[in-house]
Amino acid sequence: MTQRLKNKIALITGASKGIGAAVAKRFAQEGAQVILVARSVADLETVDNEVQRFGPPAVLVPFDLMDLPRIDDLAKSIGERFGHLDILVGNAAILGGLTPLTHTLPSTWHQVMTTNLHANWHLLRAVEPLLVNAGAARLMFVTSGITTHPTPYWGAYGVSKAALEMMVKTYAAEVKHTAFKVNLVNPGTTRTAMRAQAMPGEDPMTLPTPEEVS
């Protein structure tokens, strides 16, 4: 690897599995100090075992992004330890099941919106001062092709990703005269647990792995 991220601090959400875990390992290979957020301590530790093959241990932050106040605590901790944040990868998301839009349980709707949208807004707001301190910060948020192809039964997930795209595009327009680079990334169909949940009859071996996508 080129070590092009050497000495960079990167925060990745949804980092215990799938695309988030693959990005964490790739960033570590490129020299970054990674901060990994996910719900499962055990899964985070598994990713960290891989990260440590390439560099320093990851900073593991096990918590559910539904707990929005903890996002401010996370930003404060990063500021106290590192003073800045070079890279933000907003990857965490949940599917919320596939069901007719009006049959979606209110609790499921709010869980999907909070995880896929609101948490990213809270995160962006909380870490922005750290991104400013880094100067030429890089921000990436993972989206989906569902936003351009409205699909029956994908209501909560599709709406959350469409709203996320508008949020990110608005923020990109607001910081276009700075050194920030803000991007939406659509990885396409990928061999992940979420894809298997959505398409149980699909042969996963026909899909690219998260490592290939990263």
User: How far is CA 188 from each of CA 66, 91, 149, 151, 156, rounded to the nearest angstrom?
Assistant: 25, 13, 13, 15, 19
Catalytic status, residue 171: no
Q: How far apart are CA 34 and CA 60, in angstroms?
A: 9
Radius of gyration from C-alpha coordinates of the chain: 17
Per-residue DSSP letter, 31: T
In the set 27, 141, 154, 157, the catalytic residue is 157
Query: Would residue 42 be called left, alpha or beta, if left means φ above 0 and alpha means ψ between -120 and 50 degrees?
Result: alpha
Task: Say if CB 40 and CB 18 are below 8 A apart.
Answer: no
Neighbours of 105 (CB within 10 A): 12
Say how many Å lie between the first and final Cα of the chain, rounded.
Answer: 14
Q: Annotated active-site positions, please?
A: 157
